[in-house]
Amino acid sequence: MSNKSRLQTELKKKGAFVSREQEVLLNLARTFDQLSIRLERLIQSHGLTGSQYNVLRILRGEGTPLPMNEIARRTVQVLPGITGLVDRLEVAGLVKREQSAEDRRVIFLSITERALAVLADLDIPLPALEKKLLDVLSRDEQREMIRLLEKIRGRLESLDGGEDVRRVEAPTKRSRAIVRKTRASFVRSSIND
């Protein structure tokens, strides 16, 4: 009988993890990836990416036009290329862009009727999928998971000195290559240890 964790087996990892913290972080990453794939598949079947859905969800929830930078702050994940994302949404007829009368540098986005219809088509299947993906956890376990994840995010905020780490510059070709290389190296070393 093996003492390997489920993650060690899934990753075909030969040795133990370097630390419990590494195992926790890799479990979070693996679980997030698997959940994201399933959610993205549903959202894409309605002609959107997850990032596009996120922007449209924010606009629908607000009910009034919002500045692009405010939308970027409210997204679940960092969107370094929000301008390109908005360009694609505008071409698809899902948002309208308006320049602020007070400050020409500020661009407001509003949601279109077409986008509202697309979101309405997701209003039943998306919550049903979310429920299906997490029904393995009781309500109390879900509350505890929320509490623990919020505790981790609170710690991250204190480590960053309150700085908004979500504010990122658009990645350059070189920085994307460095990130890919670093991730690949980290994953290889984690799996092969």
Q: Which fold has domain 19-159?
A: Arc Repressor Mutant, subunit A (1.10.10)
Tokens matching residue 27? 């479990």
CA distance 129 to 46: 14
- The answer to whether the pTM exceeds 0.85 is no
Each residue of 74-104: pLDDT tens digit?
A: 888 777 788 899 999 999 999 999 988 888 8
CA distance 99 to 117: 25
Tokens matching residue 165? 């780490």
Contact in structure between 66 and 98 (CB atoms under 8 Å): no
Does the pLDDT at position 109 exceed 50? yes
